[in-house]
Structure 1
Amino acid sequence: MTDWILLRGLGRESAHWGDFISQMQQQFPDSQIHCLDLPGTGQHYQQKSPISLPKITRIVRAQAMEQGILNKPVRLLGLSLGGMVVWDWLKQFPEDASHAVMINSSFADLSPFWDRLYWHSYLNMLRIGAIRDIQQREAAILKLVCNRNHHQEVVDAWLQIQQQRPVSAKTIGRQLLAAGLYRAGKANPKQPVLIVSSPMDRLVSVECSRAVQQKWQLPMLAHPWAGHDLSVDDSPWLAEQLANWLRHDSQQQD
């Protein structure tokens, strides 16, 4: 079976996938699920984050190479900023991947900035950044990116992550700059790419996902109620939809 590489979004790390990893393992029991951290997050939280998204891609790919993950083509999955890295990975190193999935991502050359981040999201992010208590801050982030009323255990887990591997405001700023400067380009992806969106996303407009889907006529799935962090809001649904998509793609190729 083909393995997976998973990439998180702005200011988040591998541990933030939570239950999604176990859901993926259930749907793909013969695959290994590899979670890599962007520079400045997770195991690399002390590393400087580049302001160039292609540089971020190359750093993450180097991690995969060092771990021997790329001995055969993999499936790439990225959420938000991670989805942009997935797209750039397909552009720079198309031989690495057999399939790719982008969840609630956007590109500067396809969507205006007010869709890529709702105007009230800027205010919310500033307000959250000013919260001194880490637990309260993580609870506010969870409320912003998720629509389901999650148990306190999720906040506690996110608190522990931030305490152990804190992501700096500087890293988040540099990630935002890298995302803002990046352009998707015009080349068609050589691999099957699935777009997954959350129309009820309160951080990024679903029109950003639709713009990518329409530009390259890609398949797109929409969750009925989840927020920006779809993998946390409804991990069983997401893992099941990925399995169904790959099953359908395999049948079409037969």
Structure 2
Amino acid sequence: MATWVLLRGLMRDSRHWYGFDTQLRQAGINLLTPDATGNGELADRNSPLNIRDYCDDIWHQIDKGLAKNPEYSRELVVVGVSMGGMIALEMARQRHKQVRHAVLINSSAANLSPWFQRFQLMPLVNAIWHRHKAKELSFVESCVLNYTTVTKAHDEKVIKDWGNMRSQLHTRILNGARQIYAAARYQCSWFGHCKVSIIVANQDKLANPKCSEALAKFYHTELLRVDHCGHDASLDQPEQIQQLIEMALSRS
């Protein structure tokens, strides 16, 4: 069975899988969760200005993880959320013999969708205004979760946990800006050696679902939809997301 690689998006790291990774491991899936440059364990490094340049550090973590777990298959399924999906496509392009399948969740590309669909501003303003406003909770994480989730937008435990993670370690503002710049410029390309699957949350307030529709059309693949779910799909609907990934792999 192929090893799964999970990639988070803008300014998030492996901690933000928040139990989804544990769920997959308990299901018997061999799993690696590397951090993108500038996030998590690599927060002290400068984030690249080009999506392809994030792959170097991720490949280093993957190769290290495979060496540490020799029972893991070197054949990979790369699952990426948002910017992580862009990185997944670049990884498939770089190591076409190793990456068997790329699964993109709520991702986008500049050559397929306009900027105002890829980063919706009015829902962001609404998310800030209607955030959970308890004083003891993180302002930033309250806004983020209201913007990126449906089921956890006002979940005090999740907001508190993510606020604690932020206080311990978080992405620097400059690195966040560099990641936004890299993602905004990213243009996907066609390749025929790797299966691509697209999952979209119909209630995504950050990236319009039309972005995923454009990706599915570009890669001539089925669009797998999940309802009552926001941009951070594995947080909102972890069971459904696992089922959809497994469905996509079974059909490849």
TM-score above 0.5, yes or no: yes
Q: Match for residue 86 of structure 1?
A: 88
Q: Match for residue 109 of structure 2?
A: 107
Q: Alignment partner for residue 63 of structure 1, among 53, 61, 64? A: 61
Q: 1:91 to 1:203 in 2, by over 3 A?
A: same
- Give how far 1:158 is off: 0.8
Q: 1:85 to 1:127 in 2, by over 3 A?
A: farther
Percent identity, aligned pairs only? 26
Match of 2:33, SS state, is strand
Q: 1:127 to 1:179 in 2, by over 3 A?
A: farther
Letter matched to residue 217 of structure 2: Q
- Give how far 1:168 is off: 1.3
- In structure 1, runs of 5+ residues without a counterpart are 250-254
Q: Match for residue 246 of structure 2?
A: 243
Q: 1:112 to 1:36 in 2, by over 3 A?
A: same
- In structure 2, runs of 5+ residues without a counterpart are none
Q: Match for residue 95 of structure 1?
A: 97
TM-score by length of 1: 0.88
- What is the aligned residue count? 244
TM-score by length of 2: 0.89
Partner Cα distance (1:126, 1:177) in 2: 22
- Give how far 1:200 is off: 1.1
Letter matched to residue 220 of structure 2: Q
Letter matched to residue 106 of structure 2: N
Structure 1 segments of 4+ aligned residues over 6 angstroms from their partners: 124-128, 131-134
Partner Cα distance (2:136, 2:217) in 1: 42
Q: 1:45 to 1:126 in 2, by over 3 A?
A: farther
Residue 199, structure 1, aligned to residue 202, structure 2 = yes
Give the RMSD, CA atoms, in angstroms: 2.4
1:1-254 aligned at under 5 Å gives the runs 1-27=1-27, 29=28, 31-68=29-66, 72-121=74-123, 123=125, 135-149=138-152, 151-185=155-189, 187-249=190-252
Partner Cα distance (1:45, 1:55) in 2: 16
Partner Cα distance (2:162, 2:115) in 1: 28
Q: Which has the higher helix share?
A: 1
Question: What whole-Å deviation, never above 9, does each CA across 1:41-79 have from its counterpart, x for those lacking one?
Answer: 111111110111111122211221233369711110000
Q: 1:114 to 1:41 in 2, by over 3 A?
A: same
